[in-house]
Each structure stands twice: as structure tokens, then as C-alpha cells.
Amino acid sequence: MKKLTLVAVGLLLASSVQAQTMLVKVLQDSDEIVSEVYKEVPVKSCRVEQIPIYGTQAGGQEASTADVIASAIFGGLLGNQVGGGSGKDAATILGAIAGADMANKKGKSKQVVVGHKQQEVCNVIMQQRTVNQVAGYKTYIEFGGNIWQMNTTIPYTTGEFLSVNVDITPAE
């Protein structure tokens, strides 16, 4: 009967074991647990381009009087084709003036490419890259006279105390 009572008390105690919260001391600073992950990261891409430099260049020779007269006559003929009545006369005069002006501008200076300069042009593009990312921390604690390693989500420093749940169950 004594044996049966002791076994019953032992089973009762073993079944009533619950997790307990205990404070434990951190022995050293936590170590990072690093894992490689694929991530889209911005990458700067640069190249050197030739950029034109513009300047003015004197034209050839001045337009001759004959060129100006011929252009004025041609412009007047074109202007004469437009409008009617006194509007036709005005269009003829404006056409002659425009033709003479065009002949004069033909010999004047114009914008041209006079050289090139090198300029760096950069773009940012997104690329898939393998990067190291902190996945957690290895934290070393002392409990029951032993040193234990546990994984935590935040880092701890030497001497800190942290709260852990201890659940002891009997071995079978």
C-alpha cells in the first residue's frame, strides 16, 4: 500500500508540472544569425556619352545682287497667286520682300556642331541580388549551472537579464 501511495503521489506531482517564468543572465553579446536572401536592389549604371557643342559658323559669301533680285521676283510671283484685288497686290509685295530676305540670309552665319564633350550619364535600375540579412540572434544564457544557446529575435548584451519560460517534464 505504501508503494502504491508513493507512485500515486509521484504521478500526481509529475502531471501537475507547469511552465515557469524565470529570469536568466545573458553571458555575452548576442551573435547575428545571417542568411542570404534574394532582393531587388537599386544599381547605378553609368556610361560616357559624346555631347555635341554648338556654335555659329559664318556662311559662305554674301548673296549677290542678282540672287536677291531673282529671289524677290520669284517670291513676288508666288505672292501674286494668293488673294484677289488689293490683297493680291499686298501679297505680291510681301512675297517679293520674303524672297529677297531669304536670299540675304542664305549667306549669313548658322548654328553648327563645332565639337564634342564627354559627359557621364547615369541611370538607376533595379536588379535581383543576393544580400545578407539578419534573421535572428544567437543568445547564450546560464541556467541550472549549464550554458545554453537560444535563438532570439532581438539582440541582447552581456549582463542583461531576460525572462524565459521553463517547462520541465519527466523523461519516459
pLDDT score of 13 more than 50: no
Give the model's pLDDT for residue 107.
58
When pLDDT is averaged across residues 94-118 and rounded to a whole number, the result is 77
Residues 6+ apart with CB under 8 A from 116: 50, 51, 52, 53
pTM score of the predicted model:
0.39
pLDDT mean across residues, the chain: 79
Query: How does 8-21 read in b/e, with b if 16+ C-beta sit within 10 Å?
Result: eeeeeeeeeeeeee
